[in-house]
Structure 1
């Protein structure tokens, strides 16, 4: 025994040296020892000979050491150096980042993530924050359960708090870069270089095939892009290290894969990107690479190879994990944190799916939700006796979400926008016809036919159409303007380059996807066959075509498998749409609503025209009165843009929504009311009677008690989005138990939370309809309105109105279960009489309980003692009695157990009772499992009634909005327009007295905006000599010509909406279409110059305008030389004024053009007045010239445009302006001399010519 003061150093030199090293050694935790070990084994830049096939080290000693550390478990204590840590209580275990070895050996089955997985009892927090708190405080057992696949290379995951700490550590390391040899594993965490402006990840890359390197060396892999320097380094050598930001760091493993490089990448069929048939949605993964992976990672790559253009949210326990290129995107776009490991890896909790997916989809990505579709027990049963590498949890894609396929479901969260977002499929057919015999042109004329199908998946409304179009795709452009798509589908290689260029120009920011003809973009026959065989339209075992599809079917085919000839393209477009919905796994959710309608172009005059009329037939359809066949006026995309009807961001841009007609009119309190207002603005009414019905309703609301309207508006504002919530209930109720859909098999940890959301939405929807019923009933009882339209909207159907009787149905649905208990527990327990199977099971169980009590009483009396039933589950109904009485039991009783002083018996009666109870309990459980779906399906069975109510509420909401605008507008006088019906002798006309711009005038102070009178055409019985429908407008630059033209068109739109207009008086005959050619712009994406755009739009006007149209042309011809522009403008004026004879405002600065039409009875001259004052004596002294714009339209022409005043206001140097003025005066004199000589030679010299010459 040695004393305390004696040295403990061994005498043996070797032992002494070891003892000294031990004293000097620092106590290290498991993590620190592992870091140090890996740092020592990290290969240098020159150790390539020891690298494995994926560029990582395969040093056997290091791999064995790492594997040993991993297998020790997590028993080791925290860092002994931390005194504070030693005093604190042990933290409960959480998900840890496990550093994987790079060995190439196949992992053992017991270490694979799915082999040890078991779902834990997860928390039921109602928000992401509470979920994170629960994860932080989870017990060791729950943590182990929720980490679904511990032990594999796919399970390097941590809870949110752990992820935040790792992210902070990584940022700290990045600030102080060091070499790999001197750092722990924490400092070797892979990082992605910061994206450079202009060279980062395209938000639409998810829809673009993996492209080869562009001119600047960048490339895109599905949803991630490689930084130029990273790509160059990865391609230059197999060296793992890349110099980034001054420090040595490693690039991610997926960037080292040779077959993922741009020069080697292939689709699943082995095609390169330069192949026309290349499919960037798939990826060819070499089979040799699969052999290096764990089963779970192999499963991920198999899914990724089939959905290379999609971000996979891969479920692992309670978390959705992102790997490789998807993880990079998650960090860049979702602000997630990288996990430690050789490959990119990030993730988030299950409850965050809606927010994360919506964020990516809004940026143009596709997102696939991959769920575990079996429990651990089911996996063990399925894989029993199989090799270890096959023991992986079954996972399936349950849904693919894209910008055009979002649903109103609990997975989509509450981020759905109010406006409609369409998925559009387009099919084109081209027929080339030789030029006509009387034409000098030898060029072929192109006849286009388009088939279209588009759907708003949030409400399940599908439109199908087919129409003829011109070479400029005018009708297709109008469709896109009225129904802006969020995503476009078309046949691969079947669209003309010109059509594709037009679509790319109109839909620059819209994702586009090419589908393979035949296989993915079905023809009409395959589409109808699929619809007939699928269960979309089966109700109670009976199939019936939806009413909206019946007009598209061939009458001679009784089975409905053939499309009518005039609808083949449209049905084929529907086939492309249906295929895409089925690929996204939402086809049944959407199509089973049966909301189909035939789309007819806004300018189609009849069904015959819609079925494929050519351009001559399109013009011939204008037979008076035109509104007998055309119910709505046409506002194409150009008119909507030029008139600022909607914000630019609603047309695919990013402009402000303030200065638009929609923003001025929108006082709607409901989301479905806002959508209806947008539809009304795209297509104002044409028929005078329909317009007058709306006017009467608006007039009554304007004159009604203001408090009544405010109460009505307040009541509507409290309603939820009933239209989308109704569609949401359909989605919840259209998949009963047993439906073959992956979502039915998905294992969800937050199922209770999802059920609570469903129940809250359902009860909120019922409350909304009940509130709407009370609101309408109160109005009907007060009998406040005489307007026919208002009475139809408010009165119930039994009283001759259109509002359905909903209260009995609402109360029946609400009373079918305990509402509060359902919201609290997330489980619906039906009341008696609601579900027969459940009632039968409950009644049977009650009978069994009575039988059990009766049995105990009877046998207790016979045996003379008290009997009890003991046991649980399958051991229930054992009869227990005192051991002293055991000898008296009947002979058919058998001993099943005992305890001190008591014995337990089974008998035929109790066995029969147990079997009955078990069967009834299974029946009860089966009924409860499907009760929520059945309840939603029961609600959905009244779909037509719900939608009828929503339509009435929406119309009332829009009428209130129009009335509020009519009452307040800009504070000026408002009038109810007079719509004059067309008679055989009626000429189209438009008269506006003291009109104001509907929303520009609001920006001026009271009395600041100058109103104008406008007259186009002559009303019947008028003796006005200047009644020409064509007005040629001149005036100074900045004099208000364009504003006046827009003002007139917007007043017409408001008048035909049924709204009041900002004017003292307005009278007009209906307008069938408004054409605009305002402003100057090119279409660089389609290769069209400014002048070509002008000519294309003018050509469409001349082809489609009728005498009932309103045409606005602003400075036509300015995109070319003066003489060419003047000549073109002259030809257009002659055509519009003398041939078409429509109401037209034509502004110009070509004064030669004005002189040509002086005295023409079909052309009226007008100008925007101004007042010119000159202080100096010389005409060239522009600084002395003062111009006051009067902004009033006056008869006659303006002699000059005063463009130099605008130049001076713009800040051009004074010397430049003076020289320009002198040169202009010189040119004017030269032209005056030439004009004088020409008139003299023609014998048309007049005194006015001489006077003009002398003044010039």
Structure 2
């Protein structure tokens, strides 16, 4: 898009040089270069009339991201300046794309009306938007926090401080971690949009980019030594936010120091493997635990639910308080329904008050704020009416801040326009001077209608109209067919193809009066609105506190709703290191299947008894599902929810570790086996007796003997040294022998039903191990060619018989009665064989419709087909 500047000072023709270059620079470009020098790391959007322009490298980058036409300023010059721009009214559409691309954007506005300016228009950067400092609802995801995170390291003892802030909601938290590895894990759990690191810490910058791929990393100065790395991180974040707001004071909550010992910790691998917030397959929300649970009615509740999933509790009293409330709402569906209906009328209080504090709230934002606050008494009354003490306690914390909603109702009309510049925002009766201007505007409409009729009567031009636009003001429009009737006293204003536009001295006088009144009205409304916004800011902390309580009510009601819909039960959470689940189900998979089809399972782990279960069985039988569902049930219990089971007792878990699945990490140069060993090493280093460990197929990425050895020693260490509750799935059946020497190890397997060469997965976990993996049957189910399956059976038979050749070597390549030289070679990647005509013919037979004669004919026909296919498959 070619967007030439249309500013009054943009037509200079002096030579403009690049930043730092030599040449004569226009005053306007000096403004641009000065603003750019203040924000060298930001893409500068420079307001010029009706456009935001970009220049130099910013223009090249903006044209690429926004798909704009790249033009140039001073095209005839030897070194023209690259330029690209967007209409000012379309900024809301373009800005999200720049932020999504990880760009920091500085907005440089005109501070005065170009028509009234004496000389060059004054301009200044009024705000800076970064991926981590955003208020615009067009950019933000309503269901998730938008965190800016600062990370700082202690110079000597290795401690790391994290501070994460969502400026749009005021949420501000911090934590101190013992080392960088755990800090990076925590960073992954926070899921920041932007991370701040010290400008001179290259190693930390590199580590953050590897730990959180795709995150925007900003280097900032660390200006002072602080008492702790957490204090340094808090200071870094505060300074950075202050720079973006140009001196404006944001409303942030007091720092909440997260005591990680009071939370069930789940690292990035566990979040990923359990699919807590997005799926492994495509990284989407749909299909995750979060998507299953999220029946919240407010944006605040949705964000809080995600927080509870990622930060479950680790204190018995707090967990039981949540269970009490969820239980009360499960038992009282009427109260639950009334609560959820009331929540439907509550807007995003957190982000509304955030925009108020940032000075970006619109008139409609304030009406939404008042509407929401006025729903809270109904919410509180519903909680109190139930009679449960825990619900009544919640009600006392819902402060409706009546002075705030009253101030809004007193000042604003019930249905204001989208923006202040449209006018008509302030209610009549609020101010006498404003009322007078409103009356002038109202009378003006009547006057124009009357005046138009007088002109029609005097001229005989019945089709004439009085119109208005921002360029020409008010005018009389006459079609060409009626020009001969225009009085000589009318003054021509504009000629169109099919009409002429005129004005009269009387019309001009009225125009000046009306437009003057409109300008004064807009100025007054702006002042009153700014004052109202400032007054509401004084209630900000109270509204934030109430918003947090509303979010909690929403989540608790949602957990009760989910429990009722899916027949979840209240778990018993205890201090002892046990897991005892009866009829446990995987919450997400169960919801995807038709009702009643999911097969429930029992599992028992006891830190003082059988604390490790070795699970064997074929692929596809459901081992991974069983292990994941145990971890998910523990997490659901400790976040305060009910669980998918007939009964469940969960001993407090401090951390959940999972080593599930296989994948390379090519970006780090790590093979599947290396990834597996790295994750296993972290588990062995950090797990405690109170942890829950889920391991799937340890040691499969190397040779069989190496794999068995590693898996065996890992299992021994977890059992003997750490003592963690552990579920260990494996195809190494040798590991079942651990139960012979250790009382704390139990064997279980997934039941399989065999019939001839067919297998049926029963999905049932039963006591005892198995020494069969049914790999060939699974391969057949997957569609491997029949010759491949047949050959695999021969090789398996040789292996199981320990068949040796005369030199005592396994005869893996031997066929039935054939020497290796005679055995035909099989291409594993050959196309599937031709479908069997014999099987197709059999499938079409209707036994009940056969006569004795036709049955005999069919037998001969099938025999011929069988002989034909046998000849085709014989190796040559």
Check 1:370–1:662 CA distance in 2 against 1; reply closer, same or farther (3 A cut): same
CA contact (8 A) 1:522 1:579 kept: no
**Which residue matches 2:160?**
450
Match of 1:582 in 2: 242
d(CA) in 2 for partners of 1:1141 and 1:378?
Answer: 78
User: What's 1:875 paired with?
Assistant: none
In structure 1, the partner of 2:562 is: 965
* Shift in CA distance, 1076/586, structure 1 to aligned 2, threshold 3 Å: farther
Indicate the SS of the match to 2:544: helix
Alignment partner for residue 222 of structure 2, among 497, 502, 521?
Answer: 521
SS in 2 for 1:1208: helix
Say if 2:610 is the partner of 1:1028. yes
TM-score w.r.t. the length of structure 1 is: 0.53
Deviations 1:880-908 (A, max 9, x none): xxxxxxxxxxxxxxxxxxxxxxxxxxxxx
In structure 1, how many angstroms separate the alpha carbons of the residues matched to 2:592 and 2:161? 44
1:590-669 maps to which residues of 2 (within 5 A)?
590=250, 593-600=251-258, 602=260, 604=261, 630=262, 632-647=263-278, 655-669=283-297
Q: 1:430 to 1:1045 in 2, by over 3 A?
A: farther
Q: Is the 8 A contact 1:148 1:318 kept in 2?
A: no
Tell me what 1:766 maps to: 370
Determine if contact 2:586/2:632 at 8 Å carries over to the other structure: yes
Contact 2:3 2:86 in 1 (8 A): no
Select which of 121, 128, 149 maps to 1:393: 121
- What secondary structure is seen at the aligned counterpart in 2 of 1:584? helix
Q: How does 1:623-1022 map to 2 (within 5 A)?
A: 630=262, 632-647=263-278, 655-706=283-334, 708-732=335-359, 758-780=362-384, 783-786=385-388, 788-794=389-395, 801-816=396-411, 826=423, 930-969=527-566, 973-980=567-574, 982=575, 987-1017=576-606
1:587 shift after superposition: 5.9
- Per-residue CA shift, 1:159-178, capped at 9, x if unaligned? xxxxxxxxxxxxxxxxxxxx
Q: Aligned residue for 1:356?
A: 94
Deviation at 1:1007, TM superposition (A): 2.5
Q: Which residue of 1 aligns with 2:153?
A: 428
**Is the 2:7–2:114 Cα contact (8 Å) retained in structure 1?**
no
Instruction: Find the counterpart in structure 2 of residue 151 from structure 1.
Output: 11
Q: Distance in 2 between matches of 1:929 and 1:1003?
A: 53
What's the CA shift string for 1:544-567, capped at 9, x where partnerless?
xxxxxxxxxxxxxxxxxxx4x4x2
Shift of 1:329: 4.3
Q: Are 1:311 and 2:12 counterparts?
A: no
Paired position in structure 2 for 1:1164: 746
Offset, 1:1219: 4.0
Q: How is 1:1097-1136 mapped onto 2 (pairs within 5 angstroms)?
A: 1097-1136=679-718
The equivalent residue for 1:1192 is: 764
- Choose from 415, 419, 422 the match for 2:144: 419
Give how far 1:676 is off. 0.8
Distance 1:822 1:1152 in 2: 74
SS in 1 for 2:699: coil
Cα distance change on mapping 1:660 and 1:478 into 2, 3 Å: same
Contact 1:521 1:579 in 2 (8 A): no
Contact kept, 8 Å, 2:747 with 2:768, in 1: the verdict is yes
Distance change in 2, residues 1:1148/1:430 (3 Å): farther
Tell me the CA shift for residue 1002 of structure 1: 1.9
Deviations 1:900-927 (A, max 9, x none): xxxxxxxxxxxxxxxxxxxxxxx99999
Name the CA distance, whole Å, in 1 between partners of 2:287 and 2:390: 31
Contact 1:828 1:931 in 2 (8 A): no
Contact 2:279 2:287 in 1 (8 A): no
CA deviations 1:942-980 (Å, max 9, x no partner) are: 2232123212211111111111110112xxx43221223
Displacement after TM superposition at 1:601 (Å): 5.6
Q: Check if 1:285 corresponds to 2:48.
A: no
CA 1:360–1:500: 2 relative to 1, 3 Å: closer
SS of residue in 2 equivalent to 1:1059: coil
Distance in 1 separating the partners of 2:754 and 2:2: 81
Q: Secondary structure at the match of 1:638?
A: helix
Deviations 1:1113-1142 (A, max 9, x none): 111111222222222222221122122222
Change (3 A) 1:329 1:725: same
> C-alpha separation between the residues in 2 aligned to 1:949 and 1:580?
28
Q: Judge conservation of contact 2:776–2:789 (CA < 8 Å) in 1.
A: yes
Which deviations, in whole Å up to 9, do the C-alpha atoms of 1:414-442 show, x marking residues without a partner?
755431111122223465xxxxxxxxxxx
Flag structure 1 segments of 5+ consecutive residues without an equivalent.
1-94, 99-112, 114-145, 155-252, 258-283, 381-390, 432-446, 525-562, 605-629, 733-753, 795-800, 843-922, 1020-1026, 1175-1184, 1234-1256
2:366, 2:408 within 8 Å by CA — same for their partners in 1? no
Supply the distance in 2 between the matched residues of 1:967 and 1:150 (Cα, whole angstroms).
Answer: 66
Task: Quote the Cα distance in structure 1 between the aligned partners of 2:733 and 2:803.
Answer: 12
Note the C-alpha offset of 1:687.
2.6
Kindly indicate whether residue 780 of structure 2 is the aligned counterpart of residue 1208 of structure 1.
yes
Query: Secondary structure at 1:504's aligned position in 2?
Result: helix
SS at match of 1:466: strand
Does the 8 Å contact 1:523/1:571 carry over to 2?
A: no
Closer, same or farther in 2 for the Cα pair 1:998/1:937, shift >3 Å?
Answer: same
What is the deviation of 1:482? 2.6
Alpha-carbon distance in 2 for matches of 1:769, 1:322: 42
Alpha-carbon distance between aligned partners in 1 of 2:59 and 2:243, rounded to the nearest angstrom: 24
- For residues 1074 and 1231 of structure 1, what CA distance do their matches in structure 2 show? 45
**Is it true that 1:506 corresponds to 2:234 in the alignment?**
no
**What is the distance in 2 between the residues matched to 1:768 and 1:1128?**
59
In the TM superposition, 1:86-105 aligns within 5 A as none
Partner of 2:761: helix, strand, or coil? strand
The equivalent position to 1:296 in structure 2, one of 28, 49, 57, is 28
CA distance in 1, matches of 2:234, 2:201: 16
Q: Deviations over 1:215-239 (max 9, x none)?
A: xxxxxxxxxxxxxxxxxxxxxxxxx
User: Aligned pairs, how many?
Assistant: 714
CA contact (8 A) 1:670 1:957 kept: yes
Q: RMSD value over aligned CA atoms?
A: 3.6
Unaligned runs of 5+ in 2: 437-519, 806-876
Q: 2:95 & 2:34 partners in 1: Cα distance?
A: 21
Q: Is the 8 A contact 1:339 1:345 kept in 2?
A: yes
| Separation of aligned partners in 2, 1:1228 and 1:1123 | 16
Contact 2:162 2:175 in 1 (8 A): yes
Task: Spell out, residue by residue over 1:384-413, the C-alpha distance to the aligned partner (whole angstroms, 9 max, x if none).
Answer: xxxxxxx543322222211111125xxx65
Structure 1 residues 405, 1140: CA separation in 2 closer, same or farther (over 3 Å shift)?
Answer: same
Find the counterpart in structure 2 of residue 1090 from structure 1. 672
Change (3 A) 1:406 1:295: same
Structure ID, larger Rg: 1
Seen in structure 2, the aligned counterparts of structure 1 residues 979 and 370 have a Cα distance that, compared at 3 Å, is same
Contact 1:793 1:803 in 2 (8 A): yes
Asked whether the equivalents of residues 830 and 931 of structure 1 are also in contact (C-alpha less than 8 Å), the reply is no
Looking at structure 1, the residues matched to 328 and 378 of structure 2 have their Cα atoms a distance apart, in angstroms, of: 21
**Native 8 Å contact 1:635 1:1073 kept in 2:** yes
State the 1:586 CA deviation: 5.1
User: In the superposition, relative to structure 1, how do residues 1232 and 700 fare at CA in structure 2: closer, same or farther (>3 Å)?
Assistant: farther
